[in-house]
Copies of this chain bind each other. A is one copy, B any other.
Amino acid sequence: MPLLIPKPIHFGPFLVTSQVFHITPLSFALVNLKPLLPGHILVSPIRRVPRLSELNHAEVTDLFMTVQRVSRMVERIFNASALNIAIQDGKDAGQSIPHVHCHIIPRHKSDLDHKGGGDKIYEMLDGEEGNVGKHFWERESGGFPKPDADEDRKPRSEEEMLREAEWFAEEMIKDTVSRQSSNNSSS
Residues of A within 8 A of B (CB): 52-53, 55, 57, 60-61, 63-65, 67-68, 71-72, 75, 80-95, 105, 107-109, 111, 118-119, 121-123, 125-127
CA distance A135 to B85 in the complex (A): 22
Do B71 and A92 touch (CB < 8 A)? no
Number of copies: 2
A61, chain B: closest CB distance, angstroms: 5
Separation of A89 and B60 alpha carbons in the complex (Å):
19
Our pick among B52, B61, B65, B111 for the contact of A85 (Cβ within 8 Å) is: B52
Complex CA gap A94/B123 in Å reads 14
Known: A65-B57, A71-B52, A82-B89. A119 touches B94 (CB 8 A): yes
Of B52, B82, B121, which is within 8 A of A95 by CB?
B82
Taking a contact as CB atoms under 8 Å apart, the answer to whether B65 and A60 are in contact is: yes
Q: Which 8 A-B pairs have the closest CB atoms?
A: A122-B122, A82-B90, A119-B126, A82-B93, A82-B92, A64-B64, A85-B87, A83-B89
Neighbouring B residues of A68 by C-beta, 8 Å: 52-53, 55, 60
